[in-house]
Amino acid sequence: MNDQRRRRIDQIRDPEFVADLTALGDAELRARRDMCGELDVELSFYRRMLHGRLDLLAFEQRRRRGEETRSLMEALPEILAGDAEPEPPRAPGDSRTIPIAAPDLPDVGRRAVDRALGDDFLGRLPVLTDDDLADVQEMLSAVEADISTQRRAVFEAADLLQAELTRRYREGIAASEPNDA
């Protein structure tokens, strides 16, 4: 776990991240759990951004098929306030929260999510063909599926880390810290 240059998701997905948790100190367990929490917030934000773009794209496709008579601008408030996909169910006592403000995000890089969120397809809607729209939808959907897969890996690791901390509290071998147990 010493390679600080590796992306957090790569560190979390590494089997060593949750291997032999009983050998780790409380501080290291908490640090890893906190890393999972921070990455969960980031990935959740990306998913919401991708879903918003997918919703806008779906509206434009419906409008082109004649299923909508409003312009995208007229429908924009409704689309953006629409039925967001619910977060995964949380266990009783789960302290993870959904922030209202955007999280501190890493600099834009070469990741698929950076390219997807940087695409200006909304500004080019009038000139995009139906095939172009389908290509953008496919790309956004693929990136969203990858982000969702990453979130599941983060949840699994966080659950294992929290379970070890909880076990230590039950057995009286961990010092109490805020937001634990």
Interval 42-69 mean pLDDT: 93
The DSSP symbol for 123 reads G
Q: Compute CA distances 36 → 18, 45, 113, 122, whole Å.
A: 11, 14, 19, 32
Q: What is the model's pLDDT at position 85?
A: 44
Q: Domain boundaries in the chain?
A: 24-81+110-170
| Assessment of whether the complete model's pTM goes beyond 0.85 | no
Query: What percentage of residues in the chain have a pLDDT greater than 90?
Result: 58
**CA-to-CA distance for 58 and 70, rounded, in angstroms?**
13
When mean pLDDT is compared across 56-65, 106-115, 155-164, the lowest value belongs to 106-115
- So what's the pLDDT on residue 80? 81
Question: 124 falls in which pLDDT band (50, 70, 90)?
Answer: confident
Residue pLDDT, tens place only, 33-53: 999 999 999 999 999 999 999
pLDDT, tens digit, 9 for 90 and up, residues 125-149: 888 999 999 999 999 999 999 999 9
CA distances from 7 to 35, 103, 106 (A): 11, 17, 10
Strand runs (DSSP E) across 46-181, as ranges?
Answer: none
Between CA 48 and CA 178 the distance in angstroms is 29
Task: Give the largest CA-CA distance in the chain.
Answer: 65
